[in-house]
Amino acid sequence: MPKRVEDRYVLFHKPKGVTTTRFDERGGQTIYSVLGTDVDGLMPVGRLDKETTGLLLLTNDHKLADFLTSPKSGILKTYIA
């Protein structure tokens, strides 16, 4: 029987100039290069543009991530630009 992986949640205040991606082909900073190996296996729920700042949730809880990003959930998202 496979070992159950514990759900993990990380709240990260993404700084300006950091890309919400695993790799930046131009060599820029990504959320993973800033956070390091502590977030291996976690994926961001949504994304923020490179030049914006804000709170970003990373998790391995796919059920929660799908719920939060689905238009069917009716969760309002507010962006200030």
Residue pair 42/10 in contact by the 8 Å Cβ criterion = yes
Residue of 40, 49, 61, 66 marked active site: 49
Residue 49 annotated to the active site: yes
Burial string for 6-30 (b: 16+ CB within 10 Å, else e) reads eeeeeebebeeebbbeeeeeeeeeb
What residues are annotated to the active site?
49
